[in-house]
Structure 1
Amino acid sequence: MANGRGCWTVGIGILFQRGHFWKQKVEKQGIDSHEFNYIELQHRMQNYALSSCIGKALETLNFMKNVPGKPTVYDYNALIHCYLKSKDVLLEELVKVYVGMKRFGPLPNALTFNTLFNGMLLFGNLKDALFIAEEMLTSGFVPSFSSLSKLLKKSLESGSLVDSLRVLDFMLEFDYSPTDPTSNLLITRLCKAGMICEAYFVFSVLLSKGYFCGAYGYNPILWALCKANQSYIALTLFCLLKKKGFVHNVCSYTALVYGFSRERLWEEAFCCLKEMEAAGCKPNAITYTTVVKFLCDDGQIEEALGLLDKMQKEGCDPDLVIYNIILRELCHQNRIVEIGELVQVIDQKGFSPNLFTHAALAGGMLKGGRIGIAHKLLVDVFSSGCSVDVAIYNIFFNILCCLNRSKEALFFMRSMMEIGLRPNNVSYNTILNGFCEEHLIDEALELFDRFEWAANGPDLVSFNTILSAACKQGNSSMIRRVLYRMEYEGVKFNIISTTCLIQYFCYSWEDFRVLEAIGIHDLTVIGWKLFLPTEEARSIVSTTYDGQSSTKSWNVVYTG
């Protein structure tokens, strides 16, 4: 911020000199000190401060020393207050004023601290606001609950969790308990940031101080533990809280159901469902959808359909989300009869198919090998003018590439861009792989080199796709081209890249030493078996390879 429209800044040491210095200056200029009316100086000082002229305001304040007993701490407070109301505020200048008051007097009072604190808070300088609060305590004053509560809220809004924890710790020194919304927000933010231990510490400290934390306070911790594959720890906390008299809600139980289902611990997951019902807590659509989703991911479609039936018998109406999940898995398993029946149910329920429905059907059919049906389905979707997104287009690109129509897929990608949808790397890599499968290497290279890629350009999948095609064709110049670009862009090999090169060198009988370029110690058993030409050598690899053998020892195997 500007420094007060050309006003000069006076050094802090000079500004706070004793009054006799200014008295000598006044006498030297031939001005009678009695002419300095205190009220007039007050107004002048405040006007300077309101105009952002902090230097001249301090100079005027020092002229008050010609008046016995002046300036008082209230004059300094008025200066701080007026300066904070000005347009151009430099908070560093206020810190200098505060330091000067501590050093030369008058000592700050409670109003000084509160004015500075509120000013720092107003301008978002949270660290200095906390510093002022700590200084206030050191000077024998106690910050108010409302002040620290505001600081905690501001810290949370700024996303500074470390500062938020410092403020909370400071509040607890005075036995100030944050409000329910604030403490819940802090715990939730900590959990989302992966700071589960810190979140539990906050919860346990508040609990130990007699502060009642409801389910909204600890549910985020249960969810964070379950999402981190620590469902048994979450269950331990759940049982501990239950013994302490806490009444869990549907969200608490659903967290455990989610965690155990995610880890495929089905016995524990269904046990939690039974316990939930026994406790009089009725599972909702989210609870059922959670289990059905993971059952379908695990290929257990019969169990998922059984749970769907139970859900309806319990009076919990399924929504389109759960139908889409089941529909997708039915497509994966080629359950055509059940697919037709479920589509009829969706229609009878009055649900209109959405993006996820189309993606579930088309993606499921594609994965199940029914490419023609998937193609017709999406062609009908495009023809009907339904709203589609990049995910739908990516499935369509995959379908076209499976039908050896990669050029058509590229045409549709350009059309997609014309209507404002931006392709992602999945879009590019799908078509790139299609070109390679059709041996359209020139088109693949043009897409790889010249098209406008999303994010940071081709990724490792893109490089591996081109590298694999080049290796299969034995095109050494293309291989070198890809390797040079990988090195230039800092893209590192993975097992797929390495295996492609090993296959190429096997077919071309290149010298064994070329492996040094791709990191000989990173090869797996499969990689070595692909490279070594004899069954005897491969047998040696299977029985002796430990991942740490030297180049020399492998040369012995190769030449022996």
Structure 2
Amino acid sequence: MVRQFGTHFHFFAAFSEISPNYASDSSDLYSFLIENFCRNGMLDSSIETFIHMCKLGVPVSPYVLSRMLTLLVDSNRVHVILDLYGEVCKALRGQYFCVYEFVMVALLNKSKVETGLDFHSAVIERGFVVDIVGCNKILKRLCKESQIGVGEDFFNVLIMGGPEPNVVTFSTMINAYCKDGKLEEAIKLYKVMIEKGVSPDLVVYSILVDGLFKAGKLEEGLRLFSEALDSGIKLDVVIFSSVMDSYVRIGDLVKSVEVYRRMLKEGISPNPVSYTILINGMCQDGKVMEACGIFGQIVKCGFVPSILTYSSLIDGMCKLGNLKDAFHLYESMIKTGYEPDIILYGVLVNGLCKHGLMGDALRFFFQAVYRGVKPNISAFNMLIDGFCRLKRLGDAVKVFIQMGVYNIKPDMVTYTVIIKGISEVGRLKDALVFFFQSLKKGFLPDVVTYCTLIDGCCKQKRVYYGLRILDMMRRNGVSPDIAIYNVLINMLFKESYLEAAQELFEQLTESGPEPDIVTYNTMICGYCSLRRLDAAVQLFQKLIQGHCKPNAITCTILIDAFCKEGNMDDAMLMFDKMLEKDPEPNLVTYSCLIDGYFKSENMKSAFELHEEMLKNISPNIVSYSILMDGLCKRGLTEKASLAFHCAIERGLVPDVIAYGILIRGYCRVGRMAEALILYGRMLISGIMPDAVIQRTITEHILEADQQKYSTAQPHDLQIRSFV
């Protein structure tokens, strides 16, 4: 119509003649005209028509207005929108249409962010009222589209010029910071929020507490969590569950239970998620019976346990070796109508593999496949690891080949498990061949794979191979961790390569990784084993001066070395220092000193130290064995027997070493009857004698027989020979 009459046709005059007859439809007529102008790209005519409508007081429809505003944005004439902003808002006559929000969204859709910010500032400067609700929507959109930098700029514009941000504005920005990993900025904004007198709500606290706990800042998270509760904020079960889960993840079940009890105290009922978190934590801590109790509460409350709940409880049972109950619970789950997923199947397969029931594990695995469950790489890795643990490498390789049937490619764990399995049966060359074949296939080994191979080399006393692999590891850009160096240093000392061990240790101190206490203990123990006690003491002094402090193992290694050298004064000097400061002496420390006193024939000090040990810590059968050995070597079998029975009264179970010490003690003093009685008692207890005990008993029986033969009468000899 517009093009038909031409641009010189006076529409307003024509509309003035028509409009009195169609007063009720004048808005529709003008809107129709503006829409046609916009459709034909005649933007100036549409603006002119719009202004004429405003003068006549004719309302404009939101649809037509949106067409005109879109055209203005597309043609970069935002200044025209600003000039007409007041008239546009009035022309709506109460119809719901937010001009500000529409223009801002249109600009953002065109990626005209700077123009949008300028538009916002200009609207505020001209005195127009902007609703914070619309601003919050814009801010949320910016943050959702990962434009957090632009969101920051927009938020700062709101802070500087208005409208005043409310709790939703702050929570939107805080949430964006937390999701982007900028937790410090989120905390700073929270403080700004408090300063401006905006009270945080449940959403703000939930976002921040969740962010702090996920970042591992548990103390700060708990402080904010308590602050929310103390301020009267009614936290919901979601945030309580999040806090409980964070503590479970770090293995702190006590704290998790405390939060659970606080939730009950606040009158908040647990949901299946919070119950499942608690069950998972208890199972990880080995408290499966308590977890079963919580499971009972879920059922009692009328909740339906989720498959995750079943998986956590079944996993806990499997880890405790209670496979029977685990499969009972699995069958119960099937009856309720649940279809187990590959994760649950994996839990049960892993439980069977860990207990060496590989036939059952394979049957259960293929049963899952038959049910339509698609196997994953984790399930295959569990089976391969299970066969490798039993040294059934042939079966492990069969499972490895079977992976290809299901189009599953081996990962780093697969290769590492097989390399470990081959190494542990002493086939180091095969392990190396497999390793290099995997490299040709594009496998990129990680630090665990290299460490496994180096450990295998060291166990086979091929330290040179281990050092070569370490060098290869560095050249391939994989940074070795301190555990690898500890393994190599330990083996170098065992093979008496003192200089090589020292050189490797010096590399650590110069270029890293930083030696840990295990490294220092390995070095000190190595020096002591090669009778370089002076070097061990020197390194110990260096350790004290550094930031890595010695532990009980460090001091015990040196005390044992002093005792073996017969230097009880220095051994006791170090022991006294342990008593004065940290670390506290342990059972091994006391045992080394008692053994040292016995070897230096200082019986009095040995007994005094044993009595002191009984006051401070509970001894084990090893400490009693040391005491018995010292007594037996001096012919004090009665006292040794007393120590043996004291150990039993304390609930300790004698092992083959304890029995062997006392049996040999009886044999030395010619008390064969007691020796044989104790030997029989050992067999009844289910303890198999070792070669030393059998040889001792046999030798002393033969010796006793020879003595009897030498003193026997000819008639007796004839009878004995006949028998």
Q: Same fold (TM over 0.5)?
A: yes
Task: Report what 2:269 is aligned to.
Answer: 282
Task: Report what 1:67 is aligned to.
Answer: none
| Higher mean C-alpha deviation, range 529-538 or range 134-143 | 134-143
| Higher mean C-alpha deviation, range 465-474 or range 134-143 | 134-143
Confirm whether residue 354 of structure 1 aligns to residue 348 of structure 2.
Answer: no
Confirm whether residue 341 of structure 1 aligns to residue 328 of structure 2.
Answer: yes
Deviation, structure 1 residue 328: 0.9
After superposition, give the CA deviation of every residue in 1:87-125 in whole Å (9 maximum; x if it has no partner): xxxxxxx8xx99xxxxxxxx9993699999777623435
| Pair 417,186 (structure 1): closer, same or farther in 2 beyond 3 Å | farther
Structure 2 residues without counterparts, runs of 5 or longer: 1-40, 43-68, 86-99, 546-560, 562-723
Confirm whether residue 460 of structure 1 aligns to residue 447 of structure 2.
Answer: yes
Task: Report what 2:520 is aligned to.
Answer: 525
Deviation, structure 1 residue 132: 3.3
- The counterpart of 1:488, out of the listed 475, 478, 503, is 475
Task: Report what 1:448 is aligned to.
Answer: 435
Confirm whether residue 435 of structure 1 aligns to residue 422 of structure 2.
Answer: yes
Task: Report what 1:252 is aligned to.
Answer: 239
- The counterpart of 1:132, out of the listed 104, 113, 118, is 118
User: 1:425 touches 1:454 (CA, 8 Å); kept in 2?
Assistant: no
User: 1:467 touches 1:482 (CA, 8 Å); kept in 2?
Assistant: yes
User: 1:331 touches 1:364 (CA, 8 Å); kept in 2?
Assistant: yes
| Pair 199,534 (structure 1): closer, same or farther in 2 beyond 3 Å | closer
Cα separation, 1, equivalents of 2:105 and 2:241? 43
Task: Report what 2:410 is aligned to.
Answer: 423
User: 1:226 touches 1:256 (CA, 8 Å); kept in 2?
Assistant: yes
- The counterpart of 2:353, out of the listed 366, 371, 383, is 366
CA radius of gyration, larger in: 2
Cα separation, 1, equivalents of 2:531 and 2:502? 20
Cα separation, 2, equivalents of 1:395 and 1:364? 9
Confirm whether residue 399 of structure 1 aligns to residue 389 of structure 2.
Answer: no
Confirm whether residue 221 of structure 1 aligns to residue 221 of structure 2.
Answer: no
Instruction: Read off the aligned partner of 1:110 and give its amino acid letter.
Output: L
- The counterpart of 1:110, out of the listed 79, 82, 85, is 82
Instruction: Read off the aligned partner of 1:356 and give its amino acid letter.
Output: I
User: 2:387 touches 2:395 (CA, 8 Å); kept in 1?
Assistant: yes
Deviation, structure 1 residue 377: 2.9
Deviation, structure 1 residue 393: 1.5
| Pair 162,482 (structure 1): closer, same or farther in 2 beyond 3 Å | same
| Higher mean C-alpha deviation, range 236-245 or range 312-321 | 236-245
Task: Report what 1:272 is aligned to.
Answer: 259
Question: Where does 1:378-397 land on structure 2 (aligned, <5 Å)?
Answer: 378-382=365-369, 385-397=372-384
Task: Report what 1:537 is aligned to.
Answer: 532
SS at match of 2:391: coil
Question: Where does 1:92-107 land on structure 2 (aligned, <5 Å)?
Answer: none
Deviation, structure 1 residue 398: 0.9
Question: Where does 1:47-196 land on structure 2 (aligned, <5 Å)?
Answer: 85=74, 110=82, 121-124=108-111, 126=113, 128-129=114-115, 132=118, 136=122, 144=130, 148-149=135-136, 151-176=138-163, 184-196=171-183
Give % identity: 19
SS at match of 2:532: helix
After superposition, give the CA deviation of every residue in 1:489-513 in whole Å (9 maximum; x if it has no partner): 1223323321332244335443504
| Pair 511,240 (structure 1): closer, same or farther in 2 beyond 3 Å | closer
After superposition, give the CA deviation of every residue in 1:361-406 in whole Å (9 maximum; x if it has no partner): 1223333455554344324434555321121121112112223344
Deviation, structure 1 residue 284: 0.2
Report the aligned-residue RMSD.
4.4
Cα separation, 1, equivalents of 2:393 and 2:322? 29
- The counterpart of 1:293, out of the listed 280, 286, 303, is 280
Task: Report what 2:503 is aligned to.
Answer: 516
User: 1:226 touches 1:258 (CA, 8 Å); kept in 2?
Assistant: no
Question: Where does 1:232-247 land on structure 2 (aligned, <5 Å)?
Answer: 232-247=219-234
Instruction: Read off the aligned partner of 2:386 and give its amino acid letter.
Output: I
Cα separation, 1, equivalents of 2:261 and 2:488? 54
Cα separation, 1, equivalents of 2:399 and 2:262? 52
Cα separation, 2, equivalents of 1:391 and 1:445? 24
Q: Would you say how many aligned residue pairs link Structure 1 and Structure 2? A: 461
After superposition, give the CA deviation of every residue in 1:465-489 in whole Å (9 maximum; x if it has no partner): 2222223334466335413321211
Deviation, structure 1 residue 232: 4.8
Cα separation, 1, equivalents of 2:103 and 2:326? 68
Instruction: Read off the aligned partner of 2:526 and give its amino acid letter.
Output: F
SS at match of 1:451: helix
SS at match of 1:532: helix
Instruction: Read off the aligned partner of 1:528 and give its amino acid letter.
Output: M
Cα separation, 1, equivalents of 2:254 and 2:487? 43
Instruction: Read off the aligned partner of 1:404 and give its amino acid letter.
Output: K
| Pair 449,215 (structure 1): closer, same or farther in 2 beyond 3 Å | same
User: 1:177 touches 1:211 (CA, 8 Å); kept in 2?
Assistant: no
Deviation, structure 1 residue 141: 7.2
| Pair 420,163 (structure 1): closer, same or farther in 2 beyond 3 Å | farther
- For normalisation by structure 1, the TM-score amounts to 0.68
| Pair 548,136 (structure 1): closer, same or farther in 2 beyond 3 Å | farther
SS at match of 2:153: helix
Cα separation, 1, equivalents of 2:164 and 2:443? 47
| Pair 140,547 (structure 1): closer, same or farther in 2 beyond 3 Å | farther
| Pair 477,384 (structure 1): closer, same or farther in 2 beyond 3 Å | farther
Cα separation, 2, equivalents of 1:539 and 1:303? 53
Task: Report what 1:75 is aligned to.
Answer: none
| Pair 198,474 (structure 1): closer, same or farther in 2 beyond 3 Å | same
Instruction: Read off the aligned partner of 2:387 and give its amino acid letter.
Output: L
| Pair 184,456 (structure 1): closer, same or farther in 2 beyond 3 Å | farther
